[in-house]
Amino acid sequence: MSKEKILTAAKEEFAEFGLSGARVSRIAEKAGINKAMLFYYFSSKENLYKSVLRQTILGLMSQIKKILTPDLKASEFFEKMPEIYINYFSKNKDFIKIMGRELINDGKHYKAIIRETLEEDGRLTPSGIKELINKWIKNGEIKEESQFNMMMNIVSLSLFSFIGKPIAENILDINIKEDEIFYKNRIESISNLLKRGMLK
Amino acid sequence: MSKEKILTAAKEEFAEFGLSGARVSRIAEKAGINKAMLFYYFSSKENLYKSVLRQTILGLMSQIKKILTPDLKASEFFEKMPEIYINYFSKNKDFIKIMGRELINDGKHYKAIIRETLEEDGRLTPSGIKELINKWIKNGEIKEESQFNMMMNIVSLSLFSFIGKPIAENILDINIKEDEIFYKNRIESISNLLKRGMLK
Amino acid sequence: MSKEKILTAAKEEFAEFGLSGARVSRIAEKAGINKAMLFYYFSSKENLYKSVLRQTILGLMSQIKKILTPDLKASEFFEKMPEIYINYFSKNKDFIKIMGRELINDGKHYKAIIRETLEEDGRLTPSGIKELINKWIKNGEIKEESQFNMMMNIVSLSLFSFIGKPIAENILDINIKEDEIFYKNRIESISNLLKRGMLK
Amino acid sequence: MSKEKILTAAKEEFAEFGLSGARVSRIAEKAGINKAMLFYYFSSKENLYKSVLRQTILGLMSQIKKILTPDLKASEFFEKMPEIYINYFSKNKDFIKIMGRELINDGKHYKAIIRETLEEDGRLTPSGIKELINKWIKNGEIKEESQFNMMMNIVSLSLFSFIGKPIAENILDINIKEDEIFYKNRIESISNLLKRGMLK
DNA sequence: TATGAATGAGAGTTCATTCAT
DNA sequence: TATGAATGAACTCTCATTCAT
């Protein structure tokens, strides 16, 4: 109960301010609990951060897993990946901010959590994806020959839609509203690019 | 002299730790100067951050301007943008970390600086780019019909190569070394994707 | 049952860390009980400390009483006091640490407990000792003419064997192992000193 | 200046409350400085404690060195040691409290400091003392045959005069005022005991 | 320009103690 | 008796910033 409230408040706080910018007292206040409880449950600010990050990562993974079926076709993959990512993130902005900051910090905690979680839960990674991509490459379904580059392209386009907007706006000297239509357009643009650019 | 040293040290520090994580004393130490001097020159930590960010932004802009010639063709654009971006950023990692953090913070300072700088220097934006893209669209050189989405795609793919690596690695359960070859492959993969996906 | 376990654990803890250094949670853990129980039984940390101290003092007193018989001779006294003290303390190190700390704190709690205990139990002090010493002085059995100084000498030599070792070691730049032989030698040295120095 | 004031205040505080009981804020207040200055100069409470302890130890050593001359006779030694110790400590009560607590804590910090200081300053120990005692033993000046036990006896009697008083008082059920006469008597009693007990 | 000393506000964390059950 | 959750006050320590020189 209290633990949940702390996690929720912490997610908000870490998203907005990052690990070092976050304030334990602010988290406690948001959660409506005594500051000491936070340490009672999580023993340190950093540990709380890790717990939040763990949730975030598991959320990300579960999104990816959702679309993976053994007979998935490349064309579907290029349609569904951006759609799922962008829809999910547009509703979970904290999520992407936390991940973003984490990645910029060289993913130190991210990697640690992945390691820990693997030890506990066995497979966290959607192991199927690797084989799927390899199949598509061998099948001749797609042009891109490196599974890594392919994955980078997909992920980049999806996640960066939530971060890179100000840069594109500035370059073009325009202002784009971030609404339903914006996301719909991004999804379409990305999946077109992926399909046209990587399908054979 | 001292001012330069401070800026250099600050760039490193802000890149590694972000605005709130950065330590004024560490910057002073790195710069080999007394902490008080830092305030003498920059009056506050935040102001120092803005100075660093201004340099960073100007650096980014200058990279973009480099390739813009009035008769640039779309195909060249799709080749040169990723190349210039990735080559530049691979040599200026601090750069991208600072921009990344800034963007996650909703680009608050970024926008402020753009505004200020516009007032001082007139055009900061490479105004030509807008017209170029519109020309390509009208010419029928490219498929993508939104200049904004096009720009987002390009920027996403380029910048995210430096941030998103851990995610792709984790999804595929592999480990990629970040070296010359890595960058070469990324450039190639991206420009292929852009050309195949957006050229007619 | 639980009460006993708490007292035992507390003795250890207070011996090692002192009143202010001791941690209630550590005591509870050592005792294998819930922290709240500790307050249920002892109502406060300080009160628990006093309980431990009371045990300690009673232990000390009972040691002294052991050797007191009305016809005890001074020479026996000088032999038995160091022996009993040192043997007892070597097996109850916590004991001496607690007393030592207490004495350094000007014996605040010590005195309070003595007072309280006197009120409850009547005589705590081995009242005989005073008369014995006076008898020896009058008899001409011993040289020392002040019962207080005599007692101080005995107690000092006995207790300090457990505390002052590092100082003597450092002054002489040697290292002495604290084992059976060590204690045997201390007892012998002390009782020789006392007998030679105070017997007529 | 401030550093000196902090050290003085800290000595008082550590003497009264011990390392764990001491309060940094109280030290700062006593010293009339800002709490942060304490960390500016000493970086941590523990480090401040070590600095105080170092002073204390050096003070102790210097007292011992004072009486050591190559032609010192055992009888003089037994007279001067208690005199110097007791006179010094009666004027420096903080001193003995700090040392006392430290010794009860197994001399952890004490030993560390001795080690460090030896590395820096070469000889800290009054090296002569060892040889002196051995000479007296060989000469047949004294009865006690172990230099260690001899030293223990001397140190015990001297230092414990400031700690053990409540115990002796309680055993004898008397109250002794701690004044000039008290100290004079202790010195006399101790040196008589030592001379009678250890000289041949 | 340059420095070492100083400061106040607040950071994360700990701890004895109490509450509800 | 027993527990896990909760609390408030206090603690050590840090940090951006300023002052005196």
CATH number at residue B138: 1.10.357
As a whole number of angstroms, the distance between CA D2 and CA C182 comes to 46
Interval A12-23 mean pLDDT: 97
Residues C1 and C88 in one domain: no
**5-44 in chain B: CB under 8 A from chain A:** 17-21
Q: Per the domain annotation, does A55 fall within a domain?
A: no
B200 touches chain A (CB under 8 A): no
Q: What is the pLDDT of residues A88-107, one digit of tens each?
A: 999 999 999 999 999 999 88
Q: Per the domain annotation, does D48 fall within a domain?
A: no
Predicted confidence band of residue D7 (pLDDT cuts 50, 70, 90): very high
Residues B96 and B182 in one domain: yes
As a whole number of angstroms, the distance between CA D165 and CA C106 comes to 9
As a whole number of angstroms, the distance between CA A152 and CA B160 comes to 8
Q: Per the domain annotation, does B143 fall within a domain?
A: yes
Q: How far is CA C37 from CA A149, B153, C9, C21, C40, in A?
A: 61, 64, 13, 20, 5
* Predicted local distance difference test score (pLDDT) of residue A188: 95
- Number of independent structural domains in chain D: 2
Residues B34 and B108 in one domain: no
* Predicted local distance difference test score (pLDDT) of residue B74: 93
Could you say which DSSP state residue C199 is in? B
Subunits in contact with chain C (3 or more CB pairs closer than 8 Å): D
In angstroms, the CA of B93 and the C1' of E2 are apart by 32
Residues A104 and A33 in one domain: no
Among B129, B157, B171, the strongest candidate for a mutation testing the A interface, having the largest count of A CBs within 10 A, is: B171
- Rounded to two decimals, what is the model's pTM? 0.92
Q: Per the domain annotation, does C172 fall within a domain?
A: yes
Q: Is residue B71 predicted with pLDDT exceeding 80?
A: yes
Predicted confidence band of residue D100 (pLDDT cuts 50, 70, 90): very high
Residues D33 and D114 in one domain: no
As a whole number of angstroms, the distance between CA D101 and CA D89 comes to 15
Contact (CB<8Å) B152/A168: yes
Residues A98 and A12 in one domain: no
Report the mean per-residue pLDDT for chain B: 90
Q: Per the domain annotation, does C53 fall within a domain?
A: no
Chain A CB contacts of B197 below 8 Å? 192-198
* Structural domain that includes position B194: 60-198
Angle at A54 between CA A52 and CA A59, to 5 degrees: 100
Interval A34-49 mean pLDDT: 98
Chain C residue with minimal CA distance to D97? Answer: C104
Cβ of C198 < 7 Å from strand E?
Answer: no
Q: Is residue B58 predicted with pLDDT exceeding 60?
A: yes
Phi-psi region of D122 (alpha: psi -120 to 50; beta: other; left: phi over 0): left
Query: Which residue type does C9 have?
Result: A
Contacts of B163 (CB under 8 A, 6+ apart): A100, A103, A104, B96, B100
Contact (CB<8Å) B125/A171: yes
Residues C105 and C132 in one domain: yes
Residues D22 and D93 in one domain: no
* Predicted local distance difference test score (pLDDT) of residue D3: 96
Q: Is residue D9 predicted with pLDDT exceeding 80?
A: yes
In angstroms, the CA of A17 and the C1' of E9 are apart by 20
Cβ of C44 < 7 Å from strand E?
Answer: yes
In angstroms, the CA of A16 and the C1' of F7 are apart by 28
Structure tokens at A72: 């998935």
Contact (CB<8Å) D144/C17: no
CATH number for the domain spanning B2: value is 1.10.10.60
Q: What is the pLDDT of residues D101-138, one digit of tens each?
A: 999 998 889 988 888 877 766 555 556 788 899 999 99
Residues D112 and D70 in one domain: yes
Residues C14 and C96 in one domain: no
DSSP code string of D80-144: HHHHHHHHHHHH-HHHHHHHHHHHHTTTHHHHHHHHHHHHHHS--S-THHHHHHHHHHHHT-BS-
Among C129, C155, C158, C167, the strongest candidate for a mutation testing the D interface, having the largest count of D CBs within 10 A, is: C167
In angstroms, the CA of A25 and the C1' of E8 are apart by 19
> What is the percent of chain A with per-residue pLDDT over 70, rounded to a whole number?
96
Q: Rounded to 5 degrees, what are φ and ψ at B199?
A: -75, 150
Residues C93 and C182 in one domain: yes
Chain D CB contacts of C100 below 8 Å? 100, 103-104, 163
Q: Which of A55-64, A119-128, C129-138, D6-15 has the highest mean pLDDT?
A: D6-15
Residues D172 and D106 in one domain: yes
Find the nucleotide nearest C40 (Cα to C1′): F1
Q: Per the domain annotation, does D53 fall within a domain?
A: no
Q: Per the domain annotation, does B49 fall within a domain?
A: no
Q: Per the domain annotation, does B53 fall within a domain?
A: no
